[in-house]
């Protein structure tokens, strides 16, 4: 069976106080037996959350990374720096980065490659907008985004793929389990064209309004191996409930 992973994406939220209260709140709750738990947080908090969360079994990750190893890129953070402060994971190609900061498929692929070279597991986000879904372009868009990454990296180097339909992010309208499963299956088939064995072990996470109430039915789908959680991950009790929904699937 594939590993189950639940990843928090805090986005640009929180404070040192929030980090400390969150870690203390999560530490009081029962430990998952098998689901991997990852918190991706703003760069400035990574050292502190690593100190607080690694001892309670949570791995840490960044929300983005620069594709260059070092140099004159004022304000940017390299994958090596992330590994240096204890990150194991890094989100790349989140739709907010693609839409608000103009990240292209090619740049996302370069970021994923930089993460792998530094020993991080990239979580590559793909997803269609509402207009793309309504015009029947969902699969074409997702496969285009995926192909860019697969042209520079072997599937076995990927940490996870996250399917995040843009219309489901922060809207409270999660994709239904069937709709999400259909896309996850298409993603796995595309990966299998490159490496059938890696496709079977690659975790494919769903993101977009995952809540404690919706998590179990999403994670029960054959090709949904966990979640990438935004809003509900800001509260340790809600996030823990989502982790336990993944943990219960053995
Ligand atoms: P929400 O869970 O708030 O919809 O955010 C999803 C997301 O973008 C995670 O990366």
Tell me the pLDDT tens digit for each residue of 50-96.
999 999 999 999 999 999 999 999 999 999 999 999 999 999 999 99
* CA–CA distance, 160 with 163 (Å, rounded to integer): 10
Q: 124 CA to middle of ligand 1, Å? A: 14
pLDDT digits (tens, 9 = 90+) for 22-41: 999 999 999 999 999 999 99
Query: 208 with 175: CB under 8 angstroms?
Result: yes
* Residue of 210, 234, 242, 243 to test ligand 1 pocket, by largest number of atoms within 8 Å of CB: 210
User: Is the CATH number 3.20.20.70 carried by domain 5-247?
Assistant: yes
* Residue of 128, 207, 214 to test ligand 1 pocket, by largest number of atoms within 8 Å of CB: 207
- The verdict on pTM exceeding 0.95 is yes
Whole-number Cα distances in Å, 142 to 26, 128, 146, 222: 34, 7, 6, 19
Mean residue pLDDT across the chain: 97
Read off the pLDDT band of 250 (50, 70, 90): low
What integer is the mean pLDDT of 211-237? 97
Give the model's pLDDT for residue 178: 97
Read off the pLDDT band of 249 (50, 70, 90): confident
Name the strand (E) or helix (H) holding 190. Answer: helix 177-194
What integer is the mean pLDDT of 190-215? 97
Domain boundaries, the chain: 5-247
Name the strand (E) or helix (H) holding 200. Answer: helix 196-201
Read off the pLDDT band of 237 (50, 70, 90): very high
pLDDT digits (tens, 9 = 90+) for 175-187: 999 999 999 999 9
Which protein residue has the closest C-alpha to ligand 1 atom 7?
Answer: 230
Which protein residue has the closest C-alpha to ligand 1 atom 2?
Answer: 230
């Amino acid at each position: 069976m594939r590993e189950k992973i639940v990843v928090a994406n805090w986005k640009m939220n929180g404070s040192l106080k929030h980090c400390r209260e969150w870690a203390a709140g999560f530490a009081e709750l029962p430990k998952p037996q098998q689901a991997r738990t990852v918190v991706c947080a703003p760069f400035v908090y990574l050292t502190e959350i690593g100190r607080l969360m690694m001892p309670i079994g949570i791995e840490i990750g960044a929300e983005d990374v620069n594709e260059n190893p070092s140099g004159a890129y004022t304000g940017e953070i390299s994958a090596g720096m992330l590994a240096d402060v204890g990150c194991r994971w890094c989100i790349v190609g989140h739709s907010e980065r693609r839409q608000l900061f103009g990240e292209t498929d090619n740049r996302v692929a370069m970021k994923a490659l930089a993460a792998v070279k530094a020993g991080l597991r990239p979580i590559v986000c793909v997803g269609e907008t509402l207009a793309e879904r309504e015009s029947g372009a969902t699969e074409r868009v997702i496969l285009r985004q995926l192909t860019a990454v697969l042209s520079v990296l072997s599937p076995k180097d990927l940490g996870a793929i996250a399917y995040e339909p843009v219309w489901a992010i922060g809207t409270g309208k999660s994709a239904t389990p069937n709709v999400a499963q259909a896309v996850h299956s298409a993603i796995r088939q595309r990966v299998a064209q490159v490496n059938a064995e890696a496709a079977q072990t690659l975790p494919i996470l769903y993101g977009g309004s995952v809540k404690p109430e919706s998590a179990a039915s999403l994670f029960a789908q054959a090709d949904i191996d966990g979640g990438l959680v935004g809003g509900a991950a800001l509260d340790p009790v809600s996030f823990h409930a989502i982790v336990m929904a993944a943990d219960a699937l053995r």
